Amino acid sequence: MILHVDMDAFFAAVEQRDRPDLAGKPVIVGADPKGRGVVSTCSYEARRFGVRSAMPIREAFRRCPQGVFLPVRMEQYAADSRRIMEILGRFTPLVEPLSIDEAFLDVSGCERLFGPPEQMAQRIKQTILEETRLPCSVGVAPNKFLAKLATELGKPDGLTVITPERVQEVLSPLPVERVFGVGRRTAAVLESLGIRTVGELGRAPRAALVARLGPAAVSHMQDLAAGRDDRRVEPHRSPKQLGSERTFEHDVSDVGEMRRSLLALSGDVGAGLRRQGFTTIAVRLKVRTEDFATFTRAMRLPRETASDRTLYRAACHLLDASMPELPVRLLGVAACELRTGGEPVQGTLFGPPPEEVRAARVDAAVDSVRRRFGTQALRPAALVSKPKPPKAP
């Protein structure tokens, strides 16, 4: 049996715990409501007004002007996350964190210590609540897909069990959007075929689906519709990508300002790669325009790297190749296909170019200075604001 543990409105719950006066109030954690960012998390009280994660912060303020808007305190959330993951590790060594506030647990064979899975889930909920004063929801099921679905069906502060005997009873009436991988466009295609529920998806003729969606997508969707998911819990799963984004205070049309943002974002990603011992062989650019249209572009690199400069050049190339017609609201840079030092890679006859060797030495020196004096101790000159001239007396 698999357990899925998900903290309820995590960031907002931390704020309500640390400030008891916020209990029962609509709390919205994210950007300044007068600015241009998005909602990171909101309490369930705020969700009643239609506020949700990733919503533009100004839209959240329009829907819930009486809400309490708070900045993100990531250090505090990370500290609580570490405590929660430590608690989960007491029940089984097979814990796979999915994000800062959720994880899968494989509890097979742990019954002698903690009782049946449902009893174990209740003990986990109680332990987290007692030691962190934070609520969570837990799903119990035979596989990952069903366990996560069970959690979603029971939120907030729920404990939902899907036994093998109840799989089709639970799945069949649900809308197809509950199947992982079925987004708005795929749901529209399925609806055009008369398919609106998970049960209808499972019973639909495969040939008709393949003609519209392709064999791989159909196999994936129909497996999940039947409750089949053979993914294992991976305790030491490496991240698939590492990225950084920036939402501008005002829509940007100036290419120079976009490039400066890419320089800062590439530096953040490069520092993160080196800090965690990764390299990358691919870079992805994310662009969101003023009308909220979002597109991504990616390219593979000639060799793996963790160099700020190489990431920046790739990001600029992607931007130049797909310059949007509308002003830009958000830019993001991500390193994809991450690799560790222990993975085999194809070597070159003469080793890396001298320029890359020098860049790696510079990055290492900069990292050393920043560890000692702070992240702002050394920055590219292009990112240093010019001092304003003094006013005339």
Q: Does 255 map to a domain?
A: yes
Are 96 and 148 in the same domain? yes
Q: How confident is the model at residue 32 (pLDDT cuts 50, 70, 90)?
A: confident
Q: Which range is least confidently modeled, 130-134, 147-151, 224-228, 247-251?
A: 247-251
Question: What local confidence, expressed as pLDDT, does residue 376 receive?
Answer: 66
Are 371 and 296 in the same domain? yes
Q: Does 385 map to a domain?
A: no
Question: What local confidence, expressed as pLDDT, does residue 340 receive?
Answer: 78
Question: What local confidence, expressed as pLDDT, does residue 358 receive?
Answer: 73
- Which tokens in the block code for residue 66? 């009486």
Q: Which range is least confidently modeled, 18-27, 131-140, 162-171, 357-366?
A: 357-366
Q: What is the spatial distance between Cα 85 and Cα 102, in angstroms, rounded to a whole number?
A: 9
CB 359 within 8 A of CB 279: no
pLDDT in tens, 343-384: 444 445 455 666 766 777 777 777 777 777 766 666 777 776
Mean pLDDT across 282-299: 90
Are 270 and 366 in the same domain? yes
Domain boundary among the residues 73, 88, 113 is at 73
Q: Does 276 map to a domain?
A: yes
Domain boundary among the residues 52, 73, 94 is at 73
Question: What local confidence, expressed as pLDDT, does residue 385 receive?
Answer: 64
Task: State the total domains in the chain.
Answer: 4
Are 56 and 136 in the same domain? no
- Which residue carries 């036994």 as its tokens? 163
Domain boundary among the residues 73, 93, 114 is at 73
Are 274 and 365 in the same domain? yes
Are 274 and 286 in the same domain? yes
Based on C-alpha coordinates, what's the Rg of the chain? 24
Are 269 and 328 in the same domain? yes
pLDDT exceeds 60 at position 112: yes
CATH number of the structural domain spanning residue 248 = 3.30.1490.100
Residue span of the structural domain in which 118 resides: 2-7+75-166
Q: Cis before residue 156, ω within 30 degrees of 0?
A: yes
Q: Does 29 map to a domain?
A: yes
CATH number of the structural domain spanning residue 101 = 3.30.70.270
Q: Does 230 map to a domain?
A: no
Q: What is the spatial distance between Cα 122 and Cα 114, in angstroms, rounded to a whole number?
A: 10
pLDDT in tens, 45-72: 999 999 999 898 999 999 999 999 999 9
pLDDT exceeds 90 at position 287: yes
Beta bridge partners of 273: none
Q: Please list the active-site residues.
A: 102
CB 234 within 8 A of CB 94: no
Q: Does 383 map to a domain?
A: no
Are 361 and 278 in the same domain? yes
Q: What is the spatial distance between Cα 280 and Cα 270, in angstroms, rounded to a whole number?
A: 9
Q: Does 310 map to a domain?
A: yes
CATH number of the structural domain spanning residue 195 = 1.10.150.20
Question: What local confidence, expressed as pLDDT, does residue 342 receive?
Answer: 43
Are 273 and 323 in the same domain? yes
Are 273 and 218 in the same domain? no
Q: How confident is the model at residue 299 (pLDDT cuts 50, 70, 90)?
A: very high
Mean pLDDT across 321-336: 90
Are 157 and 185 in the same domain? no
Q: Does 382 map to a domain?
A: no
Question: pTM for the whole thing?
Answer: 0.71
- Which residue carries 């698939």 as its tokens? 240
Are 148 and 128 in the same domain? yes
